[in-house]
Amino acid sequence: MKYDVIIVGAGPAGSSAAYYLAAAGRKVLVLEKETFPRYKACAGGISIKALPLLDFDWQGVVEAKPRTLVFFYRSNQSFKVEWKEPMVYMVMRDRFDSLLADRAKKAGAEIKFGNPVEGVFIDPGSISVKTKTGFSYRASYVLGADGANSRVARSLNLLKNRRFGTAVAVEIQHDGGSGNHQEIRVDCGLVPKGICWQFPKTGQTSTGACTFRQGVNIYDGIDRFLTREGMEKKIILRKGHRLPADGGERKRLTAYRAMLLGDAGGLVDPLTGEGIYYALKSGFLAARAIIEKNTPDQVTALYQESIFRELFPELHAASRLTALYYRLTGVCFKLVQINPRLARALCDAMCGNHTYQKLIDTELKILKLVKEFSGNYISFKRQL
């Protein structure tokens, strides 16, 4: 049987594409290697910029809506930013991803769980995928929404020159009484070229750390962070995962009749590690390209162009800030700490209340220097 679209992976990218395509009457098959609900290593923070893409009732899976963001530098110095309205919604990914998959299913998508895809093959006039369970399926298009280790990207040779950081998610049991369960905490100096975080949930706290430097023992930083927070003895689960680190770079996300979405395409904010919004949005953009255009060339061209136009400018601006931040972490922290207006503007940009581009262009003159410096730094690195 031939499908209109086969989607590999039922995370936010795959399920969102599946929903839009099925709702538009396309015959959609989603192949997911795990059985849902499944744990996904993720802090589960969904910024308000994702809200237009979640235009259905998903509040039942929201665990907390913190309004305070506290930043530390190597456990000591700190500053706080508070909002009147929630800027980030907290979810556990097992429940959130199941809800998105259910929505796609209700719209008419067929989802086969426990079906890891082994490879993608280009056939005359179509494209097919083979699963490790020995089945083969054909379609007009394949969407690779299979995460940072994308098998689809590798099959199509689209993973060359990609860069990755390392992240660890640590789930902590909280006792309901003590501790901070209504604020987000971020430590900027405990892990080299990375951060540690603490996100409040119901009954537990999602903590973790990431680093974009090779060879760093990330567990040292996270252990110090947990000790400071008095959480080292309450660990429920620890799980590492790759984090795409090339979000600000233009790269090809399409080949023949295939497109890469979300983490599979490296679409992650390099400053915050936020990827759920980019996964949902790329799912929407891929579905829109398939629905609006007729030929594979037109579809893939529209998708690639939409990514460059609608997602790339923000990812690129974030990567400029990131280049500076990781070079001069202590100085940047101090600069933001002594300047509440800048602190708020930065947090607003990170949460999507306005753009990084606006932050760089208008907030303070020093950030224009940041733009120049980090732009030069990126082009210098590219020349190496």
Ligand X SMILES: Cc1cc2nc3c(=O)[nH]c(=O)nc-3n(C[C@H](O)[C@H](O)[C@H](O)COP(=O)(O)OP(=O)(O)OC[C@H]3O[C@@H](n4cnc5c(N)ncnc54)[C@H](O)[C@@H]3O)c2cc1C
Residues lying near ligand X in the complex (CB under 6 A) are found at 8-14, 31-34, 40-45, 116-117, 145-147, 151, 167, 169, 208, 241, 243, 261-264, 268, 273-277, 279
- Angle of helix 312-327 relative to helix 365-383, nearest 10 degrees, comes to 90
DSSP string across 226-268: HHHTT-TT-EEEEEEEEEE--TTS----EETTEEE-GGGGT--
Closer residue to ligand X in complex, CB, 31/285:
31
CA distance 318 to 15: 26
Supply the minimum distance, in Å, between the C-beta of residue 146 and ligand X. Answer: 4
Contact (CB, 8 A) for 63 and 169: no
Closer residue to ligand X in complex, CB, 107/342:
107
Supply the minimum distance, in Å, between the C-beta of residue 126 and ligand X. Answer: 19
CA distance 218 to 208: 10
Supply the minimum distance, in Å, between the C-beta of residue 320 and ligand X. Answer: 20
Residue nearest to ligand X (CB): 275
DSSP string across 133-201: TS-EEEEEEEEE---TT-HHHHHTT--TT--EEEEEEEEEE--SSSS-SSEEEEESSSSTTEEEEEEE-
Closer residue to ligand X in complex, CB, 10/92:
10
Closer residue to ligand X in complex, CB, 38/293:
38
Supply the minimum distance, in Å, between the C-beta of residue 178 and ligand X. Answer: 24
Supply the minimum distance, in Å, between the C-beta of residue 116 and ligand X. Answer: 4
Closer residue to ligand X in complex, CB, 191/276:
276
User: What is the phi/psi pair of residue 238, to 5°?
Assistant: -135, 130
